[in-house]
């Protein structure tokens, strides 16, 4: 969907990947019994007026429930973002996405894109068929951010709040304002189409994994997450190491308690795996805070990254 182009018109590209925002339910009163990823991204833009001087371009990259997000879709998404970001008249990119793994895709793109322009993920907690869907306003807000002069970096917009790709976490199962940015706090807010920034735009990632952009298909290293909890054992680690019919285990994220502590039985199995060459990283289960390293730590830590983000970071490290 492109409005008439004149030299001063800037484009905002809206990439669709599915999610509740594109979901359909049988009745308008049903906000949970829907099928995600049904409505095309061009249709999601239907009733939305672009800001003055902005033309919208819609492209469907995927159409899925984000719980089923795949590495191949991530690769395709990263490649499409890189393609569009390189176009001189493109001001920024909006990506419509499911909420369930939005923080993972946002962090992935934050880690691999050299985003000197804004890349803004957005979503909805209610399907497109809802009596009062939240998707259209979220998309409009995301377009406002993507077309704001000087904006840059990978971020997400939901319920009028802008979250950085490093910090965003889904923190609520049902409310429209389902995301938070932990200790860092949001980057800013969108109010009536205007961005009110309260922190600096996120810095573009320093390291890109060139394979993601150059190779037709990437051999993603297998990295799993194991949670430490009361009564934990080493059995899960042993099963993951010995698993047949899957790629060999290359890395393991321990979703550790508190400041990175691990149940002694799980720790023993993880130490053995580490000695056998598997990369082990601890990330805290806590919603806020970071792991503060201390003398005698047996495994490195992921700082403030959540276990799912630490897994992505470790995969990229192993890939790079």
Q: How far is the CB of 71 from ligand SIN (least distance, A)?
A: 17
CB atoms within 10 A of CB 232: 20
Residue nearest to ligand SIN (CB): 98
Among all chains, which residue has been given the structure tokens 């992935």?
108
End-to-end CA distance of the chain: 37
Closest among 38, 35, 47, 41 to 16, alpha carbons compared:
41
For ligand SIN, the closer of residues 18 and 92 by Cβ is 18
For ligand SIN, the closer of residues 66 and 161 by Cβ is 66
Counting residues that bind ligand SIN (by CB under 6 A) gives 12
Q: How far is the CB of 88 from ligand SIN (least distance, A)?
A: 33
85-144: which residues touch ligand SIN (CB under 6 A)?
Answer: 98-100, 123, 125
Q: How far is the CB of 133 from ligand SIN (least distance, A)?
A: 12
Among all chains, which residue has been given the structure tokens 């990369």?
279
For ligand SIN, the closer of residues 74 and 201 by Cβ is 74
For ligand SIN, the closer of residues 100 and 224 by Cβ is 100
- Structure tokens of 292? 């503060």
Q: How far is the CB of 19 from ligand SIN (least distance, A)?
A: 4
- Structure tokens of 39? 């409505």
Site string (10-39) toward ligand SIN, x via CB under 6 A: --------xxx---------------x---
Question: Is there a catalytic annotation at residue 20?
Answer: yes
CB atoms within 10 A of CB 138: 26
Q: Which residues contact 259 (CB under 8 A, 6 or more apart)?
A: 284, 289, 291, 292
For ligand SIN, the closer of residues 64 and 240 by Cβ is 64
Tell me which of 66, 96, 105, 161 binds ligand SIN, using CB under 6 A: 66
Q: How far is the CB of 99 from ligand SIN (least distance, A)?
A: 3
Catalytic option among 20, 99, 106, 122 = 20
Tell me which of 61, 65, 129, 255 binds ligand SIN, using CB under 6 A: 65
CA 11/CA 54 separation, integer angstroms = 6
Among all chains, which residue has been given the structure tokens 């289960």?
285
CA 176/CA 145 separation, integer angstroms = 19
The strand pairing partners of 12, in sequence order, are 56, 92
Residue 233 phi, psi (nearest 5): -135, 180
- Structure tokens of 200? 């600096």
Q: Which stretch binds ligand SIN (CB under 6 A): 63-71, 192-200, 251-259, 304-312?
A: 63-71
Q: How far is the CB of 18 from ligand SIN (least distance, A)?
A: 6
CA 135/CA 301 separation, integer angstroms = 37
Q: Which stretch binds ligand SIN (CB under 6 A): 65-73, 242-250, 258-266, 271-279?
A: 65-73
- Structure tokens of 300? 């490195």
CA 308/CA 253 separation, integer angstroms = 8
For ligand SIN, the closer of residues 122 and 284 by Cβ is 122
Q: Contact residues for ligand SIN (CB under 6 A)?
A: 18-20, 36, 65-67, 98-100, 123, 125
Active site residues: 20
């Amino acid at each position: 969907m492109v409005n008439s182009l004149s030299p001063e018109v800037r484009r905002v590209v809206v990439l669709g990947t599915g999610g509740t925002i594109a979901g359909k339910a049988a009745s308008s009163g049903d906000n949970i019994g829907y099928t995600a990823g049904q409505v095309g991204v061009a249709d999601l833009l239907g009733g939305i007026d672009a800001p003055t001087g902005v033309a919208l371009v819609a492209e469907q990259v995927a159409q899925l429930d984000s719980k089923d997000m795949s590495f191949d879709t991530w690769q395709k998404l990263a490649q499409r973002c890189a393609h569009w970001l390189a176009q001189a008249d493109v001001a920024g990119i909006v990506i419509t996405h499911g909420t369930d793994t939005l923080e993972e895709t946002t962090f992935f793109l934050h880690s691999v894109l050299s985003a000197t322009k804004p890349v803004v993920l957005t979503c909805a907690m209610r399907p497109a068929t809802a009596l009062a869907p939240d998707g259209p306003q979220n998309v409009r807000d995301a377009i406002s951010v993507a077309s704001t002069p000087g904006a840059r970096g990978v971020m997400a917009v939901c319920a009028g709040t802008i979250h950085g790709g490093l910090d965003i976490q889904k923190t609520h199962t049902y409310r429209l304002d389902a995301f938070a940015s932990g200790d860092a706090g949001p980057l800013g807010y969108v109010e009536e189409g205007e961005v009110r920034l309260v922190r600096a735009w996120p810095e573009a990632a320093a390291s890109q994994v060139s394979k993601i952009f150059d190779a037709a298909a990437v051999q993603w290293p297998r990295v799993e997450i194991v949670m430490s909890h009361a009564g934990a054992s080493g059995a899960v680690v042993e099963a993951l190491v010995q698993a047949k019919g899957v790629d060999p285990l290359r890395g393991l994220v321990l979703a550790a308690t508190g400041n990175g502590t691990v149940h002694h039985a799980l720790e023993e199995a993880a130490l053995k795996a580490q000695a056998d060459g598997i990369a082990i990283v601890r990330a805290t289960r806590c919603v806020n805070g970071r792991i503060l390293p201390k003398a005698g730590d047996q495994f490195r830590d992921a700082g403030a990254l959540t276990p799912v983000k630490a897994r992505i970071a470790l995969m990229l490290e192993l890939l790079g």
